[in-house]
Amino acid sequence: MSQNKTLPSVVWESGLVVKPVYTAADRPAAPPEEPGAYPYTRGIHPTMYRERPWTMRQYAGFGTAAETRERFRYLIDHGQTGLNVAFDLPTQCGLDSDDPMAEGEVGRVGMAVDTLADMEEAFLGIPLDEISVSLTINGSAVAIMAMFFALARKRGYPLAALRGTAQNDILKEFVGRGTWIFPVEPSVKLVVDTMEFCARHVPRYSPVSVCGYHIRESGATPAQEVAYGLAIASAYVERALARGLPVDDFASGISFNFDVHGNLWEQVVKLRAGRRKWAKIMRERFGAQNPRSLQLRMIAGGGGGGLTIEQPENNIVRGAYYALASALAGTQTMALCCYDEAYTIPSEHSARLALRTMQILMHEVGACDTVDPLGGSYFIESATDAMEQLIDRILADVAADGGIVQAIAEGRIQAQVNLQAYELEKKLRAGETPKVGVNCFVEQEAERPVELHPYREEEAGKQVARLAQQRRERDAAAVKRTLGVLREAATRGDNVMPAVMDAVEAYATVGEICGELRAVFGAYQEPIRF
Amino acid sequence: MTTATGKIRVLVAKPGLDGHDVGAKLVCRALSEAGMEVIYTGLRQSPAAIARAAAQEDVDVVGLSILSGAHLPLCRMVKERLKAEGLADVLWLVGGNIPARDHAALKELGVSGIFPTGSPFDALVAFVRAHVARELQPS
């Protein structure tokens, strides 16, 4: 033990110091915790993966709806159990495929959606009651969610039973990812509109997936990622409560999306601590009673920020460790970034490898054998406690500074995480933070074995032509009328979702719907800081 | 050109709809720490707005950050606009997710330097200093 004094110190990104060894003395007064019971540190279900293995949901989508459906079919045929839909940037920014700002971007990083017809095409033949669908959409979420609901209704799935998830966390878009459209307050109002609409009409749907993920990718530490995520989720809860919705009517519609890369143990304890903290916030602060309101359900994995351009095959190995950490932390859904994702839209080959990585973990090496296998470890439990305290401190600081919405609106969170990203980059460049293939074990790489996803200009052209045809064939009077009603609803401050539903059913476009909202709410002016 | 203070002026811009701005902001900070005057446009700028800002701010360098894969069409549009603003000769750099196979096409459009994700800051700073100095030499 005397040697310990000379060991180099180990400090995690979040700032927690790790001791060389932990004993029973590190957690003397720990209350016994059970999985499936408050505060859910050990998992939200009593039997976890023994009964409910995680859903595998790779992010996919590109080109037209028809092309995207092919990739969906490919993933489902290879054993994927959910879909995670990528939309192109014009769709995400509320612009139509024929908008001048859309030039060169149609169908490039995701599927192009202009009207309900595109969504109908994308999900043709996919059973929406068997394959759970997650829509990665934020700024224009009201339009895309309404299209999904309209599509389900047309296909005969009653909204009362429809399941699925939308990302629809606009606050994190202002911190990272950047697909905002409207100013901060009306943007948050729209999120709460979807929460209220779902609570009343689509009660089994999860309208909001709060993303610590992108805040972490922008430079936040794991503790900040979880703390800011919980603060953002709490802001949505507060606003829904202010509308008079009972907390247990909508709280289970909030889920979370966390990023797994960096130190293996730090990721596991941040997710355990986050789960405990969310249960406490929901019960103690918001008075929730229903267990589902208290349970932090999550998608975890991804880990894009941990992947490297250098020696890209190393990313396959990283993905396996990130998957392991996510499983050890008890995630409900898993998605992994593909090894070529630092370069391109993943190939079928690399998407299949990511899927196989999760399948090997689930079916071959015993990750599902028992619940919370690290539970009770002196180290993990003690670090979970320390992480919870750190998250508490960050939450208290945010609250003392005027709350998360104000901090984001003023660009303070952005400035802080961007500065941290810069400091981290400098440490990486200086070799102080080891990164294999980047600053240690570096190789001269002649040609990197990555096949680049082809961008087919003609597919973009097809989408623009398809949109022109839809504009010609639809009932112009119905479009005009429903868009007028939408503008009135937005002006009055009503929940816009019923009007958006009518507009999408009349085949109004994403651009037209967001255009009406922009006319009422204005456009976001980004605080320019670096 | 370089101001009375002798500082190199750089416009860092995000053309198109790509919202990934971590890299652009890192570059802004690195150039600024290296003593340059940095103007950052923020997200979602049209090629016309970028060229206009470059002219108004009288910059020596225009740097575009693009991670969406749309660098070729965007650079074609930016080139036209720079030309229209009389900035065809400005030192033009592109960074982000730029695969090697597209480097020649970008150079042909007039891009002087390409700095893909992971490029060291030092190399970027040195490149800017060397090229701006050369342009400022009286001929």
Q: What is the pLDDT along chain B (139 residues), one digit of tens a residue?
A: 555 568 999 999 999 999 999 999 999 999 999 999 999 999 999 999 999 999 999 999 999 999 999 999 999 999 999 999 999 899 999 999 999 899 999 999 999 999 998 899 999 999 999 999 766 554 4
Tokens encoding A447 = 């040609």
Which residues from chain A sit within 8 angstroms of residue B74, using beta carbons? 104
Whether A362 and A368 have beta carbons less than 8 Å apart is answered as yes
For residue A286, give Cα distances in angstroms to A11, A223, A241, A447. 34, 22, 9, 55
Is B37 an 8 Å CB contact of chain A? no
* Direct distance between the N- and C-terminal alpha carbons of chain B, in angstroms, rounded to an integer: 15
Which helix (H) or strand (E) covers residue A314, if one does?
A: helix A314-328
Tell me whether residue A305 is in a domain. yes
CB atoms within 10 A of CB A323: 28
Is B30 an 8 Å CB contact of chain A? yes
Whether A232 and A209 have beta carbons less than 8 Å apart is answered as no
Q: How far apart are CA A138 and CA A179, in angstroms?
A: 7
Tokens encoding A94 = 């509320």
What does the domain layout of chain B look like in residue ranges?
A: 9-136
What values do phi and psi take at A301, rounded to 5?
A: 130, -125
Q: How far apart are CA B58 and CA B48, in angstroms?
A: 15
Question: Do A90 and B17 lie within an 8 Å CB cutoff?
Answer: yes
pLDDT of residue A1: 46
pLDDT tens digits, B39-76 = 999 999 999 999 999 999 999 999 999 999 999 999 99
Question: Do B24 and A530 lie within an 8 Å CB cutoff?
Answer: yes
pLDDT of residue A59: 85
Q: How many distinct structural domains can be found in chain A?
A: 1
Which of A425, A450, A456 to mutate to test binding with chain B, by most B CBs within 10 Å of its CB?
A: A425
Which residues from chain B sit within 8 angstroms of residue A101, using beta carbons? 16-17, 44, 46
CA distance B87 to chain A (A): 22
Which helix (H) or strand (E) covers residue A308, if one does?
A: none
Q: What ipTM did this prediction achieve?
A: 0.89
Contacts by A467-471, CB closer than 8 A, 24 or more apart = A467/A96, A467/A97, A467/A98, A467/A114, A467/A115, A467/A509, A468/A98, A470/A114, A470/A115, A470/A117, A470/A507, A470/A509, A471/A509
Q: How far apart are CA A364 and CA B133, in angstroms?
A: 61
Q: CATH number of the domain at A313, please.
A: 3.20.20.240
Q: How far apart are CA A184 and CA A182, in angstroms?
A: 7
Smallest CA-to-CA distance from B79 within B112, B102, B110 is with B110
pLDDT of residue A455: 80
Q: What is the 3-class SS of A363-413, one letter each residue?
A: HCCCCCCCCCCCCCCHHHHHHHHHHHHHHHHHHHHHHHCCCHHHHHHCCHH
Q: Which superfamily is assigned to B9-136 in CATH?
A: Cobalamin-binding domain (3.40.50.280)
Tell me whether residue A206 is in a domain. yes
Whether A371 and A50 have beta carbons less than 8 Å apart is answered as yes
Question: Do B19 and A438 lie within an 8 Å CB cutoff?
Answer: no
Question: Do B22 and A219 lie within an 8 Å CB cutoff?
Answer: yes
Tell me whether residue A443 is in a domain. no
Which residues from chain B sit within 8 angstroms of residue A421, using beta carbons? 22, 25-26
Give residue for tokens 């299949």.
A352
Which helix (H) or strand (E) covers residue A241, if one does?
A: helix A222-242
pLDDT of residue B28: 97
* Direct distance between the N- and C-terminal alpha carbons of chain A, in angstroms, rounded to an integer: 46
Q: Taking the model in full, what pTM does it have?
A: 0.95
For residue B67, give Cα distances in angstroms to A100, A214, A344. 19, 15, 10
Question: What angle separates helix B22-33 from helix B121-136, to the nearest 10 degrees?
Answer: 60
B123, closest residue in chain A (CA to CA): A429
Residue type, A63: G
CA dihedral (A343, A349, A351, A356) positive or negative: negative
Which residues from chain B sit within 8 angstroms of residue A109, using beta carbons? 68-69
A93, closest residue in chain B (CA to CA): B17
Candidate from B29, B68, B72 with C-beta closest to A530: B29
Tell me whether residue A445 is in a domain. no
pLDDT of residue B61: 97
pLDDT of residue B137: 53
Whether A156 and A127 have beta carbons less than 8 Å apart is answered as no
Tokens encoding A5 = 């004094």
How far does Cα A449 stand from its chain's mean position? Answer: 29
Residues of chain A with pLDDT under 70: 1-5, 447, 449
CA distance A408 to chain B (A): 15
Q: Where are the alpha helices (DSSP H) in A155-211?
A: 170-175, 184-201
A457, closest residue in chain B (CA to CA): B73
Smallest CA-to-CA distance from A163 within A192, A132, A136, A127 is with A132
Owning domain of residue A143: 45-430
Tell me whether residue A469 is in a domain. no
Candidate from B17, B29, B70 with C-beta closest to A93: B17
Tell me whether residue A436 is in a domain. no
pLDDT of residue B136: 58
CB atoms within 10 A of CB A503: 29
Give residue for tokens 């995207």.
A68
Tell me whether residue A528 is in a domain. no
Question: Do B44 and A101 lie within an 8 Å CB cutoff?
Answer: yes
For residue B19, give Cα distances in angstroms to A529, B22, B53, B117. 15, 9, 19, 15
pLDDT of residue A62: 85
Which residues from chain A sit within 8 angstroms of residue B40, using beta carbons? 528, 530
Which of A103, A310, A458 to mutate to test binding with chain B, by most B CBs within 10 Å of its CB?
A: A103
Give chain A's contact residues with B (Cβ, < 8 Å). 89-90, 92-93, 95, 100-105, 108-109, 173, 176-179, 217-219, 308-310, 342-345, 418-419, 421-422, 425, 429, 438, 452-453, 455, 526, 528, 530
Is B43 an 8 Å CB contact of chain A? yes
pLDDT of residue A63: 87
Tokens encoding A113 = 């959606």
Q: Where are the alpha helices (DSSP H) in chain B?
A: 22-33, 47-56, 71-84, 103-109, 121-136
Which of A413, A420, A530 to mutate to test binding with chain B, by most B CBs within 10 Å of its CB?
A: A530
